[in-house]
Amino acid sequence: MTCSVCSGSVERAVLALDGVDSAQVNLLTATMTVTYDESKVSPEQICNEVEDIGFEAFVRQETTASNIKPTIPDDGFVPRLIWSWSLLIPLMVLSMGPMWGLNLDWFPGGTLGQGWVQLALCLPILWVNRSFFIRGFSTLIKLDPTMDSLVAIGSLASVISGLISLFTYSGEHHLPLYFESAAMILTLVTLGKYLEHRAKGKTSKALDMLRNLIPDTITLVDENGNETQVDTSSVQVGQLIRILPGQRIPLDGEIYQGITSVDESSITGESLPVDKNPGDPVTSGTMNCSGSIIVRAKKVGADTTISQMIQMVENAAGSKAPIARIADKVSRFFVPSVMAIALITFALWLLLYKDLSVATNMGISVLVISCPCALGLATPTAIMVATGKGANLGLLFRSAESLELTHTIDTVLLDKTGTITSGTPSVNSVYLLQEGTYLAVDQLLSEENHVPSTLSLAMGLEKMVNHPLANAIVNYCAMLEVSPSPISSCENLPGMGITAQVEGSTVSMGNANLMEMQNIIIPALPALPAPKAPGARVYMSRDKEILAVFDISDSVRADSIQAIAELHARGLKVYMVTGDSQEAGEYIGKQVNVDKVYAQVLPANKERIVSQLVQEGHRVAMVGDGINDSPALSSATVGVAIGGGADIAVEAADVVLMHSTIADLVKAYDLSGKTVRTIRRGLFWALFYNSICIPLAAGVLYLPLGIALNPMIAAGAMSLSSVSVVLNALSLRGFSPEARK
């Protein structure tokens, strides 16, 4: 299957079978789930029905979500395009050459010889693109025509008309051939299908990237303490495994032995690592940052958090209703109507004039002039121009569906960490304890010209630690052009901090637990100023006395406030959803002026919030940057990923903001709206053209005024209609995003 029209045809064909209760096609994984009465229909009959409309099908063995491999059919686009373009160019030269001023009188066989060569060039193009005819006529026979049916009928009508001209040519009249029309239709539509295929292929990587979070092997620890490397899939509930620093946790469990800090951003979206002690739970897909730990398995295989996320992504992708294309809806009535008009025209003129050639010309004129090229080009040409324009603006639309849907949203859900905020911990403020008073470093620097030496010592210590909070302090000191003090030896205390001996003194940096363990009292009076934003505090001490306090938290992106104001100006509701605390969520929410804040939300609940809003009738855009956002991205009407975020979020999304700013969501919304308006305008003119030209081709003016359209004029009119649709689409190149005042 190459598009949602194909999957819809498959569903309808199977649903028509007696005994089938439901059929749901997942275009992403090329699978179909069918509920049926086995006393009335068999899986073999279901597969045969799918094959009858031009596709292949087989019964898949039972499996789990964790090992389903998405498959996007290739359909041989590249060799088809190479053959098509290679033959189309000389075909166009022969057919259009005289109109371009080329002298072809030298050609062997003259006009008739050129005609047979054109046929010889056209037939291979028809053959390599025969899938249009197979699927188009198969669905037409089932009375469920698709765009393939329109393409097949239009190109075949042109070929038949050309063949009639060849076989009836007497050398006394112009030789009207339409082989180039058939070849051009097939080649352009194939090109559009190829571009859609490429976009779809990238989207399918999302599930594989989720699976790659789990290592293939794991270190199993037996009751005697012996360690063995085994396959991750073989681990049973209750067994012990060792996780070293820097390794991902492959299952859900609890810490049996060891102390560490765990980066849970893949699950909660929170950038700050979480300290873990024996008895604390750990989740599959998270990263062990510092200490070596032993974990007791609680959930394995398909029951783990990551496996459930894989299942959610797949289910959401499969249950998302495909957009109902206007052209496809029209085609279900347009194609049989045109065929009926052509047959009636042929019969009436045969009865009136008793002349087979006149009747044939009239019937073929109807088919040729009503060729669905304009109707078929209205959407893909506009989509092609819009996606190119979007790329120039840093907007990546994964498919035509996402481009068409983006302008319909009325609600925007923004992930906090990495979307509204930078996603990287940074130092907000630093206080030095001097003579019983906390003094802000910013104030000291404004009054003095030198940087306190305490910061050099802090930088030297934290350079010995590989931890996000330590990196934030090092970056802060580097910004002040501080040189780190040399540290010869130190002790890293996982989940707490670091201690070192410096010039005979014990210097420590870490959280309040480290200070408490070392019996260091944190002075309460005068009170330490409240942090500017919810986050973490790192204390620094020398010989049992506090020297400094570092407040560290995430920060709002510079353009988030303006972007949210622009979304409000377009009448959209903007909500923030985060796995962080209520305090941190409310703090950021007030800064950027969102309408509502959902805090302490885990991945399953993020997806549930999106699904609930969709069920209530809202058209939701979910914007995120983390692995934890992928199920919600797939469940939303439009999933939008920040380009600088995790690869899994980018691959699971419908739209990617390559400049990593939600300000580009406004551009995507506006571009989508203009694109849809352009598509509708193109479809209107294509349908208007058909409503005027089909009666003319049928000869309604021939009897009263003697005006008739022969197939050559009809083909010219059809070409002009296609050109007008393309020119309409090219107007999108002038799109320019503007802020609303």
d(CA 140, CA 144): 5
Residue 140 in contact with residue 338, Cβ under 8 Å? no
d(CA 536, CA 544): 21
* Four-point Cα dihedral 347, 353, 354, 356, nearest 10: -70
* Four-point Cα dihedral 420, 423, 424, 425, nearest 10: 80
Q: 236 by DSSP, 3-state: which? A: coil
Residue 577 in contact with residue 598, Cβ under 8 Å? yes
d(CA 70, CA 66): 11
Pairing of strands 217-221, 620-624: unpaired
Residue 728 backbone zone (phi > 0: left; psi -120 to 50: alpha; other: beta): alpha
Is it true that the peptide bond before 526 is cis, omega within 30 degrees of 0? yes
Would you state the structure tokens that stand for residue 685, as one six-digit string? Answer: 């003119």
Which residues on adjacent β-strands are paired with residue 297?
253
In terms of Cα–Cα distance, which of 618, 649, 656 is closest to 636? 618
Contacts 24+ apart (CB under 8 A), 94-99: 94/118, 94/121, 95/177, 95/179, 95/180, 96/180
H or E stretch covering 39 = none
Q: How far is CA 660 from CA 38, 361, 533, 565, 717, in A?
A: 51, 58, 23, 18, 46
Q: Within a 10 A sphere around the Cβ of 179, how many other Cβ atoms? A: 28
Which residues on adjacent β-strands are paired with residue 538?
550
The CA-based angle 477-480-484, given to 5 degrees, is: 45
Start-end of H helices in 303-355? 305-319, 326-353
- The percent of the chain in helix, strand and coil, each rounded to the nearest 5, is 50, 15, 30
H or E stretch covering 601 = none
H or E stretch covering 525 = none
Q: Hey, what amino acid is at 80?
A: R
Q: Hey, what amino acid is at 101?
A: G
Would you state the structure tokens that stand for residue 375, as one six-digit string? Answer: 């109707």
In terms of Cα–Cα distance, which of 572, 575, 602 is closest to 586? 575
Would you state the structure tokens that stand for residue 557, as one six-digit string? Answer: 């992106």
d(CA 553, CA 272): 8
d(CA 308, CA 525): 49
Q: Which of 263, 415, 551, 670 is catalytic?
A: 415
d(CA 251, CA 231): 12
Q: Is 415 an active-site residue?
A: yes
Strands (E), 138-277: 217-221, 227-231, 240-243, 252-257, 260-263, 274-276
d(CA 313, CA 633): 8
Start-end of H helices in 354-372? 356-369
Residue 508: phi and psi, rounded to 5, are -130, 150
Q: How far is CA 362 from CA 157, 340, 343, 350, 705, in A?
A: 12, 13, 10, 10, 16
Using the Cα atoms of residue 185, residue 54, residue 123 and residue 129 in order, give the sign of their dihedral: positive
Q: Hey, what amino acid is at 720?
A: L
User: Which residues are the active-site residues?
Assistant: 415
